[in-house]
Structure formats: C-alpha cells, structure tokens
Amino acid sequence: MLFIFSCEKKSETALEKTPVPLEFAQGFELFRGENFWEIHVTQGYTGAEKTYRYLVLEEGVPGEKSGFDAVVQLPISKVILTSTTQVPHLDMLGET
C-alpha cells in the first residue's frame, strides 16, 4: 500500500474572467467575471512602469482582496474629486 499525505493547503484557482474589448480607450485593460470587474491600468501616467490592478466587487459579494492595489465594493456612496476638471465627468453620468 502507498499513502501520500500533504499538509499544504490546496491553492485556489484564479477566478474566470474574460477581457472586455475597448474601442477607443487606451492605457488600461478591463476584465469581467461573475460578480466582479478587474481593471489593469497599464499606463497611469507618462513613463509609468508599474501596472495597477483594481478589483470592483458587486454588492454583497465577498472576494479575494490580496494582490490588488485597491478593492472597490459596490454600491459606491461617496466620491472625492481632486480637481475641478473631473466635475464634468460626473455631470455626464448625472451624479453631481
């Protein structure tokens, strides 16, 4: 008889996600999964070498938060603008 034991925790596989095609936008990639969105900002500013990873979770959905630069839980109730040039974007969304 041969018995094999392991104390190592089984690693969980990454959640399935599909790329969202972007027609006009540049500098980031968007992925959609079941109950979440993943955003990879590949060029956040001129000369940027780091890719920033963000996870957006739908309401009430728990998720693995490690490995991301930020995690956003929907619904969003507050937003902070750092420049008046950002206000028109919220106007276009009807959220001012």
Residues of 12-33 as b/e, b for ≥16 C-beta within 10 angstroms?
eeeeeeeeeeeeeeeeeebbee
Are 49 and 33 in contact, with CB atoms under 8 Å apart?
no
All structural domains of the chain with their residue ranges:
17-93
Q: Considering the chain, what is the average pLDDT of its residues?
A: 87
Helix runs in the chain, H state only: 87-93
Strands 17-20 and 28-33: antiparallel
Instruction: Grade residue 73 by pLDDT with cuts at 50, 70 and 90.
Output: very high
Residue 14 confidence (pLDDT): 62
Q: How far apart are CA 62 and CA 71, in angstroms?
A: 11
In tens, the pLDDT along 34-66 reads 999 999 999 999 999 999 999 999 999 987 788
Instruction: Grade residue 32 by pLDDT with cuts at 50, 70 and 90.
Output: very high
- Predicted confidence (pLDDT) at residue 11 exceeds the cutoff of 50: no
